[in-house]
Amino acid sequence: MSAPKKVLKEGFLVKKGHKRTNWRTRWFVLSEDSIAYYKQRTDSLPAGVVELRGCSVVSPCTQYANKKGFVFLLTNQGGHELLMQASTDAEREAWAKALGDAIVECDRSKEDVEVSGSSAQNGINYQELIQAMQDPDAGITLGTHKVDDTTVYKDCFTGAQVITWLVDWAFAETRERALEIGTKLLTQAQLQPMTCSLDNATCRKIFVDDEEALYRFSSLNMSNLRNVLDSSDSSSSDSDSEEKLSRKPKEDLPAKSFKGHGGKVVKQGFLLKRGHVRHTWKARLFVLWDEPAYLQYYRGSKAGEEKPLGEIPLHKCVVGAQEAQEKSDVTVKNKARQNLFSVTTKKGRVYVFQARTPEERNDWMKAIVSPISVGKH
């Protein structure tokens, strides 16, 4: 007799039916390799079971953002979808995280079980890398791909996109190194293969640099995509979504800093920022203020509501590009990071940033210098 499965999480959720497409309350039980749902909590047999291997979870589900809140989506290898609705944001995120963690552990290759997803190898923290790849503004662009007349994959990306992103953001010096990183993310089950020219077993162990090979995140938290959630039209194009993300009207900006300064917003946008202690690189939303001049940076989910992660005073600071390159080379193991610049405060603290293009870097440097000059008069 087999041992009972370990229960990771259980509770009531509202489930969308597959045939009648109505929403009914069901009792859900999440175990290490599956999630089952019951019509009644006391039922001994489940009404349905979904095996977690090869699944992915997306939270929240954007097409139900306005009609039904707190909905998240589980998709299996065959493309079949299970839509579930929680009662609160916190409950939805708790279920999505538990599902995502279970999927990763269920799919993790035996040879990589001893490797923690959050441990840094070869200078890369893979857990933080996945977070950067999912950044709504600087991460990999998600899209809908039609493979044939009947098969459509949502919220996915090509292998070539991953390789290009890793090289552009200097997480990999070469495309060969990017392939190694992609393969590591596959064996850690952080990425799920959807289509591949190789056989299924090989696809789960070898990342393919190909426009035809499609992948998705095992666990995708879309809570940061605030502007996308403003529309319930699931048929909108990828370019429309990107445009919404890039448009940030002034009323969405914080009315004042958390230290109570006044002034006006000079510039805002996403940059990679190097950490001071662990020297990891994370995408942050930066807001530049004048009178007095200072930079605030946020996680980027709700800049108008969330508290800034930090503030950089710009009075009598020094802005430069060459200095950033020199200081960065010491801490990122000679990776050829491009478009770097630094801000050294009056007290000597150095902040190092990376822009996407040389033009973007120059724009930021000029914008930072501008309010400094204004403050001197």
pLDDT at site 367 = 92
The structure's pTM equals: 0.56
Which among 113, 137, 115 is positioned nearest to 126, based on CA atoms? 115
Measured distance CA(214)–CA(196) in Å, rounded = 7
Residue 154, both tokens = 């949502």
Question: CA-to-CA distance for 255 and 271, rounded, in angstroms?
Answer: 21
pLDDT of 189 reads: 86
Q: Is 70 left (phi over 0), alpha (psi -120 to 50) or beta?
A: left
- Residue found by looking up tokens 């699931």 in the block: 234
pLDDT value at position 375? 46
Query: Of 293, 280, 301, whose CA–CA distance to 368 is shortest?
Result: 293
Query: What does the chain come to in residues?
Result: 377
Residue 146: strand, helix, or coil: strand
Residue 344's CB is within 10 A of a number of other CB atoms, namely 18
For the chain, 377 residues long, the average pLDDT of each consecutive 10-residue run is 78 85 89 92 90 89 72 86 88 92 76 43 74 82 83 87 89 90 90 78 82 89 46 32 34 43 79 77 85 83 64 90 60 65 90 89 91 51
- N- to C-terminal Cα distance for the chain? 82
pLDDT at position 333, please?
47
Task: From 302, 310, 308, select the one nearest 89 (Cα to Cα).
Answer: 302
What letter would DSSP give residue 113? T
Helix, strand, coil shares of the chain, percent, nearest 5, are 30, 30, 45
Asked whether 182 and 166 are in contact (CB, 8 A), the reply is yes
pLDDT value at residue 270: 83
DSSP 254: -
pLDDT at residue number 57 = 92
Is residue 70 within 8 A of residue 89, CB to CB? The reply is yes
* CA–CA separation, 228 and 70 (whole Å): 15
- Cα angle, residue 334 at apex, residues 162 and 366 outer, rounded to 5°: 80
Q: For 217, phi and psi rounded to 5 degrees?
A: -75, 140
> Token pair of 22, please?
């109505």
Q: Kindly state the tokens that stand for 181.
A: 């990183």
Q: How far apart are CA 356 and CA 165, in angstroms?
A: 10
| pLDDT at residue 68 in the model | 65
